[in-house]
């Protein structure tokens, strides 16, 4: 129920209530835990239209940007001392956080199911579980466990899981906007 609908319903009982007073009342009830507020997604007709809502998809753009930046730093920057620190930092984030983060986004697309600490801890934990599995699978391929196959496979894993998460979030958004 929106604020306008709530205002109309309460206005039938108390006509002197303004929209601001209704909004303030709802906010106080939410702080007390008596009501649960949800951000109403804007109505989108297609996935490409949903992608234009950059503030809703910042997680996707950030994950893909870190992945792309890591690949570029690994293959385009020299491995001399000042540049190797950037390589270490981005590589650590790419290996220890990003695969788990997009997995958590795919598994819990609603956003309110987990708070930020739980999301962070699950992201690191899932990364620590997924990356060794990728290494184990690569061990049985002709390419083996080397830098290039690891980077390619982790990038494919990250992009694939991010796309799954994006589609799940879009479907939830489309369902909410229909109700």
Please indicate, yes or no, if residue 3 is contained in any of the structural domains: yes
Same-domain status, 16 and 83? no
Please indicate, yes or no, if residue 63 is contained in any of the structural domains: yes
The closest alpha carbon to 68, from 101, 90, 83, 96, belongs to: 90
pLDDT tens, residue by residue, 103-144: 999 999 987 788 899 999 999 999 999 999 999 999 999 999
pTM above 0.95, yes or no: no
Distance of alpha carbon 105 from alpha carbon 116, whole angstroms: 12
Same-domain status, 8 and 87? no
Please indicate, yes or no, if residue 42 is contained in any of the structural domains: no
Same-domain status, 92 and 170? yes
Q: What's the total number of domains in the chain?
A: 2
Distance of alpha carbon 57 from alpha carbon 41, whole angstroms: 12
Same-domain status, 33 and 53? no
108-146: string of b/e by CB count within 10 Å (b at 16+)? Answer: bbeeeeeeeeebeebbeebbeebbeebeeebeeeeeeee
Same-domain status, 154 and 106? yes
pLDDT tens, residue by residue, 39-64: 655 667 788 888 888 888 999 999 99
Domain housing 17: 1-37
């Amino acid at each position: 129920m929106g604020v306008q609908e709530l205002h109309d319903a309460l206005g039938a009982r108390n006509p002197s209530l303004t929209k601001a007073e209704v909004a303030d009342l709802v906010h106080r009830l939410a702080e007390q835990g008596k009501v649960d507020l949800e951000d109403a997604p804007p109505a989108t007709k297609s996935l490409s239209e949903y992608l234009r809502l950059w503030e809703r998809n910042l997680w996707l753009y950030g994950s893909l940007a870190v992945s792309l930046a890591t690949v570029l730093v690994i293959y385009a920057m020299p491995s001399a001392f000042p540049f190797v620190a950037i390589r270490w930092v981005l590589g650590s984030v790419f290996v220890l956080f990003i695969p788990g983060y997009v997995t958590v986004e795919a598994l819990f697309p609603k956003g309110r199911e987990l708070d930020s600490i739980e999301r962070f801890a699950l992201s690191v934990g899932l990364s620590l579980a997924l990356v060794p599995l990728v290494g184990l699978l690569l061990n049985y391929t002709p390419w083996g466990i080397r830098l290039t196959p690891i980077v390619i496979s982790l990038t494919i894993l990250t992009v694939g899981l991010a796309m799954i998460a994006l589609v799940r979030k879009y479907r939830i958004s489309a369902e909410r906007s229909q109700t």
